[in-house]
Amino acid sequence: MPLIREFFAVFRLIWDNETNLEEVVEDTITWRWTNTGKYTAKSAYLAQFAGREDSRAATLIWKTWAPSKCKNFAWLVLQNRIWTSDRLQLRQWPNNYFCQLCYRNLETVQHLFKDCPFTQEIWDKIMARMNHNQPFPMHNPDESLVDWWESRTKQQSKCQSKGMQSLHMLLSWEIWCERNRRVFKDKELQIPQLTARIMDEIHTWSACGAKKSCENSALTSHPLL
């Protein structure tokens, strides 16, 4: 019987801890998750997350200004859950193998959004158009996408960091759209065309709310806005 098993489990705990029970003292129930020892719904909710490790990806994404579709997409990117060629291969599904932006390497999330020469050049062009003096840094091939993303944003002031996080989402989204344009429509934009498109999107994002997140952010500190 469950009740009998629970009784013996409690008895064993008391015995193992050499607890002395006094018959004249009434039992009390103490809730360990509050200072007062009293139960609250809030403390019960927070107790569910005790001991968990905070996700750096969650901090980078969910507190950043961006359209919902871009946030959801960025979350999948940092979790390596989008359908790049390497993941399609694992399931033996049709794929192009090579990155469709540079045609040099197997298409992976790491390559497509960080290490691809095409992506790096887009970053350099955008930074130059925004009068940003920080060139696209060289990366260790083993550096994770989250580490790279985080390091890029930490190099900025607090306000600039917010803008850089939004910019990461915008560029990642546009890189993915360009990849899909080449894969599914057999069309492509050259670097100058894609750069111009991204700059237009920066202007749109700023007008829609990114500018309000921080007046001195990376999305608002270039001469076009």
Rounded-to-integer distance, Cα 22 and Cα 25, Å? 6
SS3 state of residue 71: helix
Verdict on whether the full-model pTM lies above 0.75: no
What is the model's pLDDT at position 53?
A: 59
Same domain, 32 and 128: no
pLDDT at 52 over 70: no
On average, the pLDDT of the chain sits at 84
Is 187 part of any domain? yes
Count other C-beta atoms under 10 Å from residue 117's C-beta: 13
Give, to the nearest 10 degrees, the angle between helix 68-78 and helix 158-184.
80
What is the model's pLDDT at position 215?
A: 43
Same domain, 202 and 92: yes
Q: Which domain holds residue 21?
A: 2-47
Rounded-to-integer distance, Cα 23 and Cα 11, Å? 15
Summarised one tens digit per residue, pLDDT across range 140-165 is: 677 888 888 888 777 666 667 788 88
Summarised one tens digit per residue, pLDDT across range 3-26 is: 788 877 877 877 777 667 677 778
SS3 state of residue 76: helix
Summarised one tens digit per residue, pLDDT across range 85-127 is: 999 999 999 999 999 999 999 999 999 999 999 999 999 999 8
What's the longest Cα–Cα distance across the chain? Answer: 85
